[in-house]
Chains A and B, each alone.
Chain A
Amino acid sequence: MKSFIISLIIACILVSNVFGAVGGKRVLIIVDDLSMVKSHSQFFSTLEGKGYKIEYHSAGDKVELEKYGDFFYDHLILFAPTSDSLSITSSDVLKFIDGGNNVFIAASNGVISDTVRDIATECGIEIEDDKTSVFDHFNYDKQQSEQNLIVADQYIQDAPIILQGLQTPVLFKGVGHSIRQNPLNYAVLTGSSTAYSRKASGVATKLMGKKVGLVSSLQARNNARVTFAGSIDMFSNKFFTSKLGKDTVGNREFAESLLSWTLQERGILRSSNLSIKKISTESNSTVAPEILTIKDEIEYSITVEEFVKDQWVPYVGQLELEIIMLDPYIRTFIKGNKDGEYKSIIKLPDVYGVFTFEATIQKPGYGNLDTFVRQPIRPFRHDSYERFIPSAFPYYAACFSMIVGVFVFSIVFLFHQEPKKAL
């Protein structure tokens, strides 16, 4: 009975690992004012429906993100753009991100606190000045007179996993930003060519066209995700239920997709079953055959999985494998099979040393997968070379004739015929 219970516990742990969530479920939501919990209730309810444990705090509340290196939350939603009384500092949030946790920030076209600005800057996002709005005189909600209530549909193209193919335009009213040219930064939603950023005084800033960032994200190297939206209103119940003519705007779908991606509900990769098997060798040596030797033919295999809908499923794509000793000696691309297995037969270089076998997958919108293993590659032993080289027969003949000669000479020296004396 006892062993049955133990087995059951182990089985539960295994199952929870297989279907476990990536990134955890503890969410801290900080709002400028608790009334925002109501005005944005539909946005927050998407989290509640997925089993996240949410803790709401107003900006003035004393909140700690970590203590002695342990984080109290897995995700932070910062909907307090204006408040300067935030108890958490930008360095706390950056530490939180460095710990692999995710952050979702929204700002507005009013005054933006230094904390929010600092966090955004550290994440490669430069927010426009206070009281600056994005305008688009061509694409705005024609039912409203304000031309800063823009209709945006310039979604990110190279990372469809973020918005899952959303096409419906969204309403946006807020501040613009620019992002650094960096493969880790994603311009999830930008203004159209006719959009521009304008100060309250009516003066246009230099930020124009598709460079006007509306919503941007950072996929950090440690897989943490940070999303910055220039409009807090775009996640409000009011915007969720707004209409453009007869059509409903896509704010709800946009927010759901963006939030779920930011909270690592998809687009996370992991690897397992890495193996390097020797298939054939040119070495004749029988000493330590498991050690890799130059010119060995090996089979490199690894399994890659992707986190989709709360479970790990095989990831089918392309993997880049590099065999590196300071510089890559071999770089090859391996296609995965339907089980997410990536196999390739490779002939090792004829250079010996300690090599790194580095497998990487770089796909926009996906987490970084960088799996490496170090293996020494040895030169041939002296007995590994071919023994009988026909071209070297003269040398062999010289050596062996010498050996035989010495032996024969020794015998002759001992048992030679004494010269007969002349009588």
Chain B
Amino acid sequence: MKTISIFLILGIIITVIAATNSGISNIYSKYDLNRVKDYIVSKQDSNGLFNGELKDTYYGVSALQRIQETIGKSKELCKNVKSQLTKNSDIESVFYAVSILSEAKCGGLDASVVDIVTPLLKTKLASGNLIEIYQAVNTIFTLQTAKLNVAIDNNTLEAAVGKLVSLMDAEEGTFKLSDSEQANLANTGLAYFTLARLSHRLKSPEADKLIAKVVAKVGSVMSAGDETQGALSFGGNLATTSSILHGVLSLSSVNDQITDFVSAEQINSIGEYLVKQTNIESLSDAYYLILGLKRCQKNSINQPLHLNLLQTVYSNQLDNVKLQVQDILGADVPSKVVISQAVLSSARTSPIISNVELTSADSKTYSVQNFESGKFKLGSYVFDFKITPVDTQFGAITVRRVLTVSGAVAVKDFKVAVADTKEALGTATSTVVEFGKKLKSPINANGNQTVKFFFRIVSNDQPFQVKQAAIQLYSSAGIETVIPVAFSVDAFSVTLGVKDIAKRLGNHAGLYNADLIIGDNTITPIKWNFAELQFDLGAVEPTTPLTRFTDSQPITHKFRTPEKRPPQTISDGFTILVLSPALIFLLGLVKVGINFKRFPTNNLVAFVSTLVFICCICSVGLLIVNYWIGSTMDVTLKNLGLLLIPTVFFGHQTLSYMNQERSLLKEKEN
């Protein structure tokens, strides 16, 4: 039970926080509104029409009318629209033409027009789709506003209410264009507005009962919006969002229950969406934007308010808080303004002031009488304002704003110490640098040492904690690093080994400039070049290349050098030596002698065998020469193998013949 209670309380707290109305972040400025106006005017043609179309002319004229701007070329406009009204007999053209003639105060809406359009209006009320009913209903009211009698009875209008309500999706509350189509948000705004107008005119319990069904589903429609950064939109476009806002607010004027389904915060969020729509790209957008802004400005549910601080940054002292309370279009809204509390942004639990009312002599600019400016020194302050409009119809809003008191700070007790170890830093001699000056000689540190930077930041002799405190080291080669400095108690300090610093610098040793950077929203920032540091990192190789792609060096191939050859004379000498045994061979031959008479001439077989045998021996010699000149071992061996067969065979034949001859010769001799 206890747990349930806690959850219930938590739920209520969360709901309250979520439902807090904090107004809109900005107004739709006159500058932006003028741009919209200029855009609309730029679309008007010489014949008075906008973009040459009735539809765009309706958007242009209606938008200008709503911001009370004069419509140019009204004569041409009225003439052309009247001629279009007589030419075209479709409901869309009739609706646009009648609306333009009414908005532009052209006159010319008379009984003859009513006679022409009444049958069309009746038909569309009875059997038209949602847009056609919307157009027919609005045409009827426009004609009636021009004090013309349109002969359409209440029964027809009540039937139109029934038809419209029947087009509502029972679950989602959105409307279909016709029975056969899908319901969407774009139709819903038009349906709401049409029903509101019909209800206002009919004042019939039957119609109101039907409309109550629609109102019961408004909550479902509102929940279909997309909320991004506090801005609520429908269907992601301006036309649908504005149309739904217009429709819902119109319904609220005929049915009080609507406030149960539409919250002030939702109207505020739609307002937030509208003020962001500064880029207008069509006349339709311009019309719906102005329609939405106007409805936000004046309605019965909520009036989005903006708290405009005239100054948010104060120099040295916050002398007073001056602000304006404005509606969405920048008009002043008389209100009661109270500072609920103001706290230092870094110490939010202790309010500096609370429940201080701001007053205004002219209901425009509010300020505090007898403001305790002495309480607000250098720093950022969070102010919570409660704004209650004088018009009791609307609820209070709570707005949070940050005010900054800026000024100058000074650096005190700046010291740099270098020691061999971290522990030795306590006893090491520190180099003191006076704020604003630079050390004449560089501070040397090697890779094994440790460096400590120490300083205080003061404002009016009081320690001041800044958001950004850092030491920047940079070299002429473009290498740099920024080292954050931490705050502790009342001073800033950082202790770093030179190795760690070198790592940040990619192990690039050398001379570095050292700057102290001090920054905060509330102070004039400081960048002070206090010294130069010379880092000696020994033989450590730089790790980070200075260029994106490492520069490749060309590679040339080293060819093997050919072996040294002996001088030619030595080779020639050896050649002679090698050939010299051939002389002995030749001398031996002379001694042995040659007897070609032994060549067998009387025996054909022997003759052929001997001849072939000699040829084969010649071929073997030539084959070896051929191998040496160009052939391969494979080819040579194959050929040699083939040649050996006839060589051996014919050699054998020859030798055997010669042996026989020799034997015969011996026998003869014997």
Q: At the interface with chain B, which of A200-208, A297-305, A308-316?
A: A200-208
Name 20 A/B residue pairs within 8 A (Cβ), A-sorted: A32-B228, A34-B236, A35-B273, A135-B467, A147-B521, A159-B548, A193-B474, A194-B519, A211-B481, A237-B279, A331-B553, A331-B555, A350-B559, A383-B630, A401-B582, A403-B621, A407-B621, A412-B594, A417-B592, A417-B593
- How many angstroms from the CA of A193 to the CA of B614 in the assembled complex? 99
Find out whether the CB atom of A391 lies under 8 angstroms from the CB atom of B560: no
> B345's closest neighbor in chain A, by CB?
A202
Q: Which of A110, A137, A412, A417 has the most CB of B within 10 A?
A: A137
* Residue B604, interface by CB 8 Å: no
- How many angstroms from the CA of A417 to the CA of B597 in the assembled complex? 9
Q: Fill in one digit per residue for B596-619: 1 if any A CB lies within 8 Å of its CB, else 0.
A: 101100000000001000100110
> B478's closest neighbor in chain A, by CB?
A157
- How many angstroms from the CA of A399 to the CA of B549 in the assembled complex? 61
The minimal Cβ–Cβ distance linking B172 to chain A, given in whole angstroms, is: 17
Residue from A209, A210, A238, A418 in contact with B278 in the complex, judged by beta carbons closer than 8 Å:
A238
Apart from A158-B547, A391-B568, 16 more pairs, CB < 8 Å? A137-B521, A196-B519, A202-B345, A329-B555, A330-B556, A350-B559, A364-B548, A389-B565, A390-B568, A393-B574, A396-B575, A401-B579, A408-B589, A414-B654, A415-B598, A417-B592
The minimal Cβ–Cβ distance linking B241 to chain A, given in whole angstroms, is: 9
Assess A403 versus B624: contact at CB under 8 Å? Given A183-B548, A202-B467.
yes
* Residue B144, interface by CB 8 Å: no
Find out whether the CB atom of A418 lies under 8 angstroms from the CB atom of B595: yes
CB-defined contacts of A147 to chain B, threshold 8 Å: 521
Find out whether the CB atom of A196 lies under 8 angstroms from the CB atom of B552: no
CB-defined contacts of B226 to chain A, threshold 8 Å: 33
The minimal Cβ–Cβ distance linking B618 to chain A, given in whole angstroms, is: 7
Residue from A295, A394, A410 in contact with B577 in the complex, judged by beta carbons closer than 8 Å:
A394
Assess A295 versus B559: contact at CB under 8 Å? Given A398-B578, A406-B617.
yes
Residue from B468, B574, B610 in contact with A204 in the complex, judged by beta carbons closer than 8 Å:
B468
The dominant DSSP class at the B interface is: mixed
* Residue A173, interface by CB 8 Å: no
- How many angstroms from the CA of A421 to the CA of B669 in the assembled complex? 11
Find out whether the CB atom of B484 lies under 8 angstroms from the CB atom of A407: no
* Residue B210, interface by CB 8 Å: no
CB-defined contacts of A398 to chain B, threshold 8 Å: 578
- How many angstroms from the CA of A193 to the CA of B512 in the assembled complex? 15
Give chain A interface residues in 361-392, CB to chain B under 8 Å.
Answer: 362, 364, 382-383, 387, 389-392
Find out whether the CB atom of A208 lies under 8 angstroms from the CB atom of B625: no
Residue from A209, A396, A397 in contact with B472 in the complex, judged by beta carbons closer than 8 Å:
A209
Q: Which of B276, B313, B523, B574 has the most CB of A within 10 A?
A: B574
- How many angstroms from the CA of A405 to the CA of B599 in the assembled complex? 20
Find out whether the CB atom of B579 lies under 8 angstroms from the CB atom of A397: yes
Q: Indicate the size class of the contact surface on chain A.
A: 35 or more
Size of the chain B interface, CB-CB below 8 angstroms: 86
CB-defined contacts of B525 to chain A, threshold 8 Å: 137-138, 194
Q: Fill in one digit per residue for A21-45: 1 if any B CB lies within 8 Å of its CB, else 0.
A: 0000000000011110011010000
* Residue B517, interface by CB 8 Å: yes
CB-defined contacts of A110 to chain B, threshold 8 Å: 229
* Residue A72, interface by CB 8 Å: no
Give chain A interface residues in 331-348, CB to chain B under 8 Å.
Answer: 331-333, 347
Give chain B interface residues in 122-151, CB to chain A under 8 Å.
Answer: none
Find out whether the CB atom of B578 lies under 8 angstroms from the CB atom of A392: no
Find out whether the CB atom of B594 lies under 8 angstroms from the CB atom of A411: yes
CB-defined contacts of B374 to chain A, threshold 8 Å: none
* Residue B421, interface by CB 8 Å: no
> B565's closest neighbor in chain A, by CB?
A391
Give chain A interface residues in 110-134, CB to chain B under 8 Å.
Answer: 110
* Residue A145, interface by CB 8 Å: yes
Residue from B549, B557, B617, B654 in contact with A349 in the complex, judged by beta carbons closer than 8 Å:
B557
* Residue A160, interface by CB 8 Å: no
- How many angstroms from the CA of A58 to the CA of B228 in the assembled complex? 12
Find out whether the CB atom of B595 lies under 8 angstroms from the CB atom of A417: yes
CB-defined contacts of B236 to chain A, threshold 8 Å: 33-35, 58
Give chain B interface residues in 256-280, CB to chain A under 8 Å.
Answer: 273, 276-279
Q: Which of A237, A329, A383, A414 has the most CB of B within 10 A?
A: A414
